[in-house]
Structure 1
């Protein structure tokens, strides 16, 4: 009986001690500041499942076993081209690619680089549309498509630019190049430097026009025997720079016809038969394409018939390039196939809003802060090109925090990690990926010394309680 009584008293003393420790711990935490958590937007894509447990390191998630989104094969288009490409410029996504990286003669699509550089000079204030340009010998002797400029003629930058963009006038193009750089050779250096800056991998220019070396005025030919080349992909990327850096491009490229001189009998007719405005023109209405407002045709014996086109429908712009078609009409027929494929099968969709949480990475510990943790959100939206009508299935993500915790004070918007989203569409060669930062959703002030002191005591007794609990 005595042994039982002693054991009972001992157990009661231990219980009272534990109860006292718990009470002290509760009192400590009642003084410490409460944790403040934001309530950001939730993930806008389908439900995800975690693939790992360590939240301070890389973790992947997937939408599960849903069937992947799918688009038709481009093979069914039966394209008769040497190369072709279709891109969506806001995301840079490649929707169609046929020999797209093969370097080929681009003919007058070369002038897109001249157009870009001249427009850039105007944008930067180094040139004005009203500036007068005096025509030199090189421009006057340039052959092919032209407006028959004579040496010494004077025209404004804008007049020559329209002649270049609408009528593909080689002489006007050379005159502009010489006005910008002093000589066409120096302008070509600018063209190649700009191509490198843009990341064009195959582009090499020998003149401002796209003429073959043998067709240039002999006195002004480059000394080496290289020719101008540019892949369909590089042409599309160049077009992307034009539409994004100069969104008013159609002010020139959509002009149907233009009378260069008051005395000219016939106006310059735009070589781009696909302009939407041509739907009411008898000779062109069979080619007119809804939403199309640019960009540049091209033709030489070496290049065949080429066309870089762009059209916008329902808020989505597409850029297409076809090279090496067999006739003037064929380049537009093939372009229609390419653009129809894009508009019929794809749309741009925001699959996750900015400020969304990421499962498993929705908060991080804050040391020495008034709050012990802070919410994390993405710093910008995720946009993908998806099959038309789709919500974007099978999106996976891989996230990583820079460290397991951060130290207060912490400013709102502090980067603490990153998350990469990947989206694969069956029928497309490459998956789409986009990486965004994980940032703090709110500010966390540094805790005062007394709060930190009480927190340390609380942590100590909490750890002690856990240790004692494990004895029983």
Structure 2
């Protein structure tokens, strides 16, 4: 009886196994037909897609030409990586008009940051500032205002007289300040820039007795304007304290406040006259307009942790729109191009081990093979959804003679350069970071060094004998 029951249970288990196997086989056969059916119906699933992500992304990125920009030049820059995402005649020197004031703003902010001046310091207006024309707040010689008040008038109302007053207070004369401006431009790598004054006015529009000795006018390329803006947002991240002011009453007796010429400020989304220009995340920087320059604008906006800097120069009036409004329409096109199609992606985390260079040899160390890692992370601006498999790295180690114990954790032992070829771009984007020791490299004691020297001696001797044959 027990034998029969045992056989019966065995038979049932076999039947169950066969049933389960049949069901699994049937499911596999059915599922294997899904991709064919999906493709036949013109649908695509994640499992059946054979198109690389980067190609899908690139096909959706419009060409710069398709934007039909109505500008003489334009640049779109990501300031952290320095990547240029759009370039239309970006290296052509053009009149920048009041975008010149960005350099005046940078220098004054920098000197305050260094403690050489204070925002509450009082400035006495001189003759040059009182005679300066164009956009102004009608300063009279002898008027007194703080650096902060004049700075706001310059940043918000683009006041030429306030700008000159600041320049003269800082350097003694406007032309001495201009030298500071040109020196800073050279330091920043602005190779297609020359400043004739602190305001961006044409020389003929300056008070005659304060005009420069030569007749070389102010010029700046869109790329240089973006570079200058990059220094502003990087070195002075509090720039928005001034650039986001929508209106400012300079004197109590003034009948109306000055209005920020930057209509694209996000805060203007609730202002009837400006809401058509308001742009999400936009918080700076500087407009410009003269008859020679046309209308210009250096803008910057931040969305989802990514800041972009845009520059448009030389916009002209249309049948339906003033030139100063056209610059904002064109800026919107440029910024949309960046935010809609690109993203910032960390491709290497901080303290990452580089494949092939996991350790370095440190002479006289207790453990001669010391682990090394990157000192910081690496981020690139890439097309949304792009494939990063083409990321490459190149290591350059310091000379071995410099790597001698003891070494502290975090000691630089070399560099690693990461490069990525953005699809559609001629040049790869690169970033170099330091390679540092991941732990202390303690010096070995004399006995261990003695034994190691004996070992090295016999090793060299053996290799010498071997090479004889």
Task: Report what 2:320 is aligned to.
Answer: none
State how 1:245-256 maps to structure 2 within 5 Å: 245-256=235-246
More helix by share: 2
2:354 to 353, 358, 362: 358
Given that 1:371 and 1:444 are in contact with CA atoms closer than 8 Å, whether structure 2 keeps it comes out as: yes
Change (3 A) 1:224 1:363: same
Change (3 A) 1:466 1:113: closer
Q: Structure 1 residue 344 and structure 2 residue 344: aligned?
A: no
Task: Report what 1:446 is aligned to.
Answer: 443
State how 1:1-400 maps to structure 2 within 5 Å: 70=58, 71-326=61-316, 327-390=323-386, 392-400=388-396
Once residues 325 and 341 of structure 2 are traced to their aligned partners in structure 1, the CA distance between those partners, rounded to angstroms, is 25
Once residues 362 and 236 of structure 1 are traced to their aligned partners in structure 2, the CA distance between those partners, rounded to angstroms, is 38
Once residues 222 and 404 of structure 1 are traced to their aligned partners in structure 2, the CA distance between those partners, rounded to angstroms, is 55
Deviation at 1:187, TM superposition (A): 1.3
Give deviations 1:321-362, integer Å, cap 9, x for gaps. Answer: 000001111100000001111111122222111221111111
Given that 1:73 and 1:427 are in contact with CA atoms closer than 8 Å, whether structure 2 keeps it comes out as: no
**Greater relative contact order (CA < 8 Å, ≥ 6 in sequence):** 1
Deviation at 1:462, TM superposition (A): 8.6
Once residues 448 and 110 of structure 2 are traced to their aligned partners in structure 1, the CA distance between those partners, rounded to angstroms, is 58
Task: Report what 1:431 is aligned to.
Answer: 428
Once residues 466 and 269 of structure 1 are traced to their aligned partners in structure 2, the CA distance between those partners, rounded to angstroms, is 82
Once residues 436 and 154 of structure 1 are traced to their aligned partners in structure 2, the CA distance between those partners, rounded to angstroms, is 49
Given that 2:98 and 2:158 are in contact with CA atoms closer than 8 Å, whether structure 1 keeps it comes out as: yes
Q: Mind listing any 5+ residue stretches in structure 2 that lack a counterpart? A: 1-51, 317-322
Change (3 A) 1:329 1:187: same
* Secondary structure of the structure 2 residue equivalent to 1:248: helix
Calculate the TM-score normalised by the size of structure 1: 0.80
Given that 2:54 and 2:386 are in contact with CA atoms closer than 8 Å, whether structure 1 keeps it comes out as: no
Task: Report what 1:417 is aligned to.
Answer: 414
1:402 to 384, 398, 401: 398
Change (3 A) 1:192 1:458: closer
Calculate the TM-score normalised by the size of structure 2: 0.80
Given that 2:362 and 2:400 are in contact with CA atoms closer than 8 Å, whether structure 1 keeps it comes out as: no
Deviation at 1:282, TM superposition (A): 0.9
Given that 1:400 and 1:418 are in contact with CA atoms closer than 8 Å, whether structure 2 keeps it comes out as: yes
Once residues 375 and 391 of structure 1 are traced to their aligned partners in structure 2, the CA distance between those partners, rounded to angstroms, is 29
Q: Mind listing any 5+ residue stretches in structure 1 that lack a counterpart? A: 1-64
Give deviations 1:224-276, integer Å, cap 9, x for gaps. Answer: 11100011111111111111121111111111111112222221111111010
Once residues 418 and 173 of structure 2 are traced to their aligned partners in structure 1, the CA distance between those partners, rounded to angstroms, is 48
Change (3 A) 1:278 1:357: same
Number of residue equivalences: 405
Change (3 A) 1:409 1:218: closer
Deviation at 1:429, TM superposition (A): 3.7
